[in-house]
Amino acid sequence: MTNAYDDVLRLLGSGSKTLLITDFKESRKWALDYETVMAGQLPTGLPPALAASAVEVLRTGYLKYIDYSEFSPTEPCGVQYLLEPFFPRLSMVILGGGHIALPLHELGARVGFEVTVVDDRPSFANPSRFPRAKAVLCESFERCFDLLTVNESTYVILVTRGHRYDLDCLRQVLKYETGYLGMIGSRRRVAALREIVLAEGFDAEKIARLHAPIGLEIGAVTPEEIAVSIIAEVIQSKRMIRPQGKESRQLKIKWADWEADVLETLATGAGGPVALATVVSTIGSTPHEAGTKMIVYPDRRVIGTIGGGCLEAEIISKAMDIADRGGHKIVEADLSGEAEDEGMVCGGSMKILLEKLTNTAIKAEHLPLAAGVPVKAMPLPSGCSLLPRSASGGCDAKIGPGALSSLLDGLPPPQDARLLVGYAGSDDAAVYQIDDEQSFVMTVDFLPPMVDDARAFGRIAAANALSDIYAMGGRPLTALNILCFPQTMDMRVLREVLAGGAEKIREAGAVMAGGHSIYDQEAKYGLAVTGLVRNDSIMRNNTPRPGDRLILTKPLGVGIIMAAHRAGAADPDAMRQAAESMQRLNLYAAEKMRDFAVSACTDITGFGLLAHALEMAADKRSIVFYPRRLPYFAEAYAYAADGHITVASRRNRAHLEGKARVDTLPFPLQELIFDPQTSGGLLISVAARQADELLAAIRRDDPQAALVGEISWRKDDVIIMSDQ
């Protein structure tokens, strides 16, 4: 048996409208996807006549509470079914970041859409330009669909800057089923584009559904007026459905929304016995609409609300009675008296269904369907892709070094003398002195996914956070999880992420002590880690000795490989190698370097090799690299040559302008040294006389470690490329 509410969440996460059927006679629940319902398929044991009602509920978004006697007059009254619709969160993708997109994204967010804006021009694809957007992508219109989740709950609007870009967008979006597709342009231009995509073999029915010219005809002229006309048409498309069969007019539909905290509590097992209150119908003005739910615990705690005040207190008391004795019943609530007493606008009435739930009662019996109808398998966590939800992955999402520096400028300096290392030196972690012998070393790091596999993502994010402790010469003690998670994603994916993180925490010899989680538009995970370091062993990132040699413990190029993977160009073996590298702790190299004359250390992450080297050089030193000796993934070099690079590498390159001469290097090698690394290796400055011995020791666990450069006193350039 599986949990029906868990099934609802997973189906919503896949983009499917979902129907939850409750059979109160048998105390069973089923979650069915849109295709199953619209095909008229029901689990065995349910009356076939229920299929028409199921279709109506998913078409209109209005729940139904049905007596069994409607279908079988010989059966006694009182046997009922509850048919509840759940619709996915709506998203809006605006292709083009010009003048119309500005008011359009604002209005889209205001009417309930999660808005993503795409443009290939950095000056237009700017989050500060679109503050209400969930995401702003700077990517070509052809490749941006690799970063987007597009399904029947996605409303796509084409407002690009020209005919050629509209055609690029059309060719991509017509590959998907969307809730709405509209394109700006004159009738002549639109007709020409329609003919082109028809000639190229795209689905004629999809092309016919294209809203173009876009927007309702209201005589709009200004960008703001045009945006209003577009949003009006979007709302019309969302709220009205075309008549079918004998229907003579369009039907107005309700977008069946849901409260995430209530549904997710039910999905994970409410912890019973508890009672569930569901508003099944309303008349007049009421504080909440049909479908609203509230979980009631025996101690009168609740999750969710049906309106508050005396009404809710009365319902809680009745719900507690149901939780004690079981069963279900309908209660009526008249708000007119309370509304008048408390000066409320609402004054209608509600019917509220109360039912007892236990961890067993909310399990869904997946019975065989009617003869000849296969049971549709639910997707497993391993099949849930994390990447389409994330605009950027891993340390590619970090704020650039230049922007970060300007953000920190002007903050008041810390006054506590026991803070031995703070943010002023751009070091890897903070160090706070406990006594004369040891100090706490503290860091926090979290990031969006860079791989599809949830457990691997958890391992990588944890290894990335723990690395800062190792770079400072410390040993981790405790770790706190930091988690952001979409409301519609499968909760078992969440458990896989946390399990992966827990594996690396245990491997590091630390204790997972708790954490904090919030809802967000995309998954993010990481750790806040506290460790210990001896005061005479604190490792800084900006104290290398001139004459020291530099050792890099992991190969470069994971950011490039991830970029190629998002574009569908990465070889599976290259992905496997990159993922294995990112999951490997820097613990083993850090343990080795404690026995050697190491003067400085840092871990290579989102700023790339050269920007971290720039921090190491500080004010008085230069870093001399041996480009021919740099370790990197061969596939990453090839992918960079093909143009698979990251936005973060461009930021890193701009930050190093005038500080490093790299123009003599092949372009792919340039990209490798600017490439943002997630859970990258340690860059260790060690006495020249011990470099070979330390390298040999590190290679026993990290075989691709290499001697990559040396430290010198400051020369004309901070970063220098040598022919060695």
Q: Which helix (H) or strand (E) holds 514?
A: strand 511-519
The phi, psi pair for 131, rounded to 5°, reads -65, -25
**Residues 138, 144, 384, 395: which is the catalytic one?**
395
Angstrom distances, CA of residue 275 to CA of 313, 334, 361, 442: 14, 21, 11, 44
What is the C-alpha to C-alpha distance for residues 40 and 55, in angstroms, rounded to an integer?
Answer: 7
Angstrom distances, CA of residue 327 to CA of 56, 313, 356: 27, 20, 6
Q: Does the pLDDT at position 365 exceed 60?
A: no
Q: Residue 147: its pLDDT value, please?
A: 80
3 state DSSP class of 647: helix
Q: Residue 383: its pLDDT value, please?
A: 37
Q: Is 395 a catalytic residue?
A: yes
What is the C-alpha to C-alpha distance for residues 616 and 708, in angstroms, rounded to an integer?
Answer: 14
Q: Which residues contact 301 (CB under 8 A, 6 or more apart)?
A: none
Q: Residue 163: its pLDDT value, please?
A: 79
- The rounded mean pLDDT for the chain is 83
Which position has the higher pLDDT, 391 or 357?
357
Three-class secondary structure assignment of 295-358: EECCCCCEEECCCCHHHHHHHHHHHHHHHHHCCEEEEEEECHHHHHHHCCCCCCEEEEEEEEEC
**CB of 441 closer than 8 Å to CB of 692:** no
| pLDDT band (50, 70, 90) for residue 673 | very high
Q: Residue 36: its pLDDT value, please?
A: 92
**CB of 75 closer than 8 Å to CB of 44:** no
Which position has the higher pLDDT, 696 or 77?
696
| pLDDT band (50, 70, 90) for residue 476 | very high
pLDDT tens sequence across 261-287: 788 888 776 555 688 999 988 888 888
User: What's the rounded mean pLDDT across residues 246-253?
Assistant: 55
| pLDDT band (50, 70, 90) for residue 9 | confident
Q: Which of 515, 563, 527 is closest to 447 using CA atoms?
A: 527
User: What's the rounded mean pLDDT across residues 395-421?
Assistant: 65
pLDDT tens sequence across 462-474: 999 999 999 999 9
Give the pair of three-digit tokens for residue 610: 């050269």
Q: What is the largest CA-CA distance in the chain?
A: 96
For 238-242, 374-378, 437-441, 596-600, which range has the lowest pLDDT when averaged over its residues? Answer: 374-378
For 16-25, 198-207, 396-405, 517-526, which range has the lowest pLDDT when averaged over its residues? Answer: 396-405
Long-range pairs of 533-536 with CB within 8 A, sequence gap ≥ 24: 533/431, 533/438, 533/439, 533/440, 533/441, 533/472, 533/473, 533/474, 533/475, 534/437, 534/438, 534/439, 534/473, 535/420, 535/433, 535/436, 535/437, 535/438, 535/439
Q: Does the pLDDT at position 346 exceed 70?
A: no
Question: How many residues can be counted in the chain?
Answer: 724
Count the Cβ atoms, other than its own, within 10 Å of residue 434: 12
401, HSE (Cβ side, Cα atoms, 13 Å): 26
Peptide bond into 273 cis (omega under 30): yes
Q: 0.85 cut: is pTM over it?
A: no
For 51-55, 79-83, 539-543, which range has the lowest pLDDT when averaged over its residues? Answer: 79-83
User: Which residue(s) pair with 20 in the sheet?
Assistant: 31, 84
User: What's the rounded mean pLDDT across residues 459-463?
Assistant: 95
pLDDT tens sequence across 302-316: 888 887 777 788 888
| pLDDT band (50, 70, 90) for residue 72 | low
For 78-87, 169-178, 217-226, 710-719, which range has the lowest pLDDT when averaged over its residues? Answer: 78-87
Q: Does the pLDDT at position 718 exceed 90?
A: no
Q: Does the pLDDT at position 404 exceed 60?
A: no
What is the C-alpha to C-alpha distance for residues 367 and 386, in angstroms, rounded to an integer?
Answer: 31
> Which single residue is written with the structure tokens 């509220």?
352
| pLDDT band (50, 70, 90) for residue 241 | low
Q: Residue 407: its pLDDT value, please?
A: 58
For 616-620, 656-660, 716-720, which range has the lowest pLDDT when averaged over its residues? Answer: 656-660
Q: Which residues contact 224 (CB under 8 A, 6 or more apart)?
A: 103
| pLDDT band (50, 70, 90) for residue 369 | very low
What is the C-alpha to C-alpha distance for residues 465 and 446, in angstroms, rounded to an integer?
Answer: 7
Q: Measured on CA atoms in the order 632, 633, 637, 639, is the torsion positive or negative?
A: negative
User: What's the rounded mean pLDDT across residues 79-105?
Assistant: 91
Q: Residue 138: its pLDDT value, please?
A: 87
Sort 272 into a burial class: Cβ within 10 Å, 0-12 / 13-18 / 19+: middle
3 state DSSP class of 694: helix
Q: Residue 342: its pLDDT value, please?
A: 45
User: What's the rounded mean pLDDT across residues 118-122?
Assistant: 90
Q: In degrees, to the nearest 5, what angle opens at C-alpha 117 toward C-alphas 112 and 121? A: 165
Q: Residue 79: its pLDDT value, please?
A: 58
Q: Which residues contact 288 (CB under 8 A, 6 or more apart)?
A: 279, 282, 305, 306, 307, 350
Rounded to the nearest angstrom, the gap between the alpha carbon of residue 261 and the centroid of all alpha carbons in its chain is: 17
Question: What are the percentages of helix, strand and coil residues in the chain, rounded to 5?
Answer: 35, 25, 40
Q: Which of 485, 486, 430 is closest to 461 using CA atoms?
A: 485
**CB of 713 closer than 8 Å to CB of 553:** no
User: What's the rounded mean pLDDT across residues 438-448?
Assistant: 93
**CB of 640 closer than 8 Å to CB of 672:** yes
* Amino acid identity at 519: Y
Q: In degrees, to the nearest 5, what angle opens at C-alpha 106 toward C-alphas 105 and 111? A: 95
Q: In degrees, to the nearest 5, what angle opens at C-alpha 407 toward C-alphas 415 and 137? A: 150
Q: Residue 569: its pLDDT value, please?
A: 87
User: What's the rounded mean pLDDT across residues 700-713?
Assistant: 93
In the chain the first and final C-alpha atoms are separated, in Å, by: 65
Q: Residue 399: its pLDDT value, please?
A: 56
Q: Does the pLDDT at position 529 exceed 70?
A: yes
Q: Does the pLDDT at position 21 exceed 90?
A: yes
Count the Cβ atoms, other than its own, within 10 Å of residue 440: 18
DSSP letters of 573-640? HHHHHHHHHHHS-THHHHHHHTTS-EEEEEE--TTHHHHHHHHHHTTTEEEEE-GGG--B-HHHHHHH
pLDDT tens sequence across 562-591: 888 888 888 989 999 999 999 999 999 999
Q: Residue 285: its pLDDT value, please?
A: 82
Sort 540 into a burial class: Cβ within 10 Å, 0-12 / 13-18 / 19+: buried
Q: Which helix (H) or strand (E) holds 267?
A: helix 260-268
User: What's the rounded mean pLDDT across residues 55-63?
Assistant: 89
Q: Residue 591: its pLDDT value, please?
A: 93
Q: Which residues contact 36 (CB under 8 A, 6 or more apart)?
A: 376
